[in-house]
Amino acid sequence: MSRVVLDSSVVIALSALGYFDKLKDIFSEVLTPRAVYEEICVKGRGLIGERELSEAVNAGLVVVKDVKNRLLVNALLDPLALGEAETIALAVEENADYVVIDDKLARRRAKSMELNVIGTLRVLRLMYNAKLVDKKTFLKALEKLKETGFRISDKVLSKVLEKL
C-alpha cells in the first residue's frame, strides 16, 4: 500500500459516490493539505464532501498537513488555485507515492515535477482492482460522475475501461 495526497475534487467526487471511506482500503496513508481541508470543511460547510472529510480527519483516516515550503506554493499559484498548489507542494514534501488531482493544468504541473499523478477515475479503478466495488457498481459510478458534471473525455474513459 502507499501514501497519497488528495486534492478537493477527489474528496468531493468520492463523497458524492459514497466511496470516500474506501480510500483506507487502498492507501496506507491519506494526506491532504490545510487549504483543501479549509476549502471543503470551512468554505464548503454543508456541501458534498464536508461531512466525509471531517469524519475521516477526526477518525485519523486522513491527516491534514500544513505545507512548509510556502515559496513552492507561491510559485505554483499562478495559474493554479491554492488547494492545487498546496496539494502538489505537500506531495513533494512528503515524498508521496501518488498525488490525486483532476484539474488538467494542475496535473500537467505535477507531472512536470515528476510526481506520480493519478485522478479520481484511477482511484475508482484501484478500488475495482481491489474488489471493493464490482463491475456493475464501477460502471454506475462512472455514469453518476458524468451526470453530476464531472468531465470525462472519451479517450480517458476508454483508458479506464480497458481490461475491465
Give the CATH number, domain containing residue 102. 3.40.50.1010
User: What is the domain extent for residue 68?
Assistant: 3-161
- Cα separation of 145 and 70, whole Å? 33
Q: How far is CA 21 from CA 59, 107, 159, in A?
A: 11, 24, 25
Report the domain count for the chain.
1
Residue 35, pLDDT above cutoff 80: yes
pTM of the model as a whole: 0.93
Residue 162, pLDDT above cutoff 90: no
Under 8 Å between Cβ of 1 and 97: no
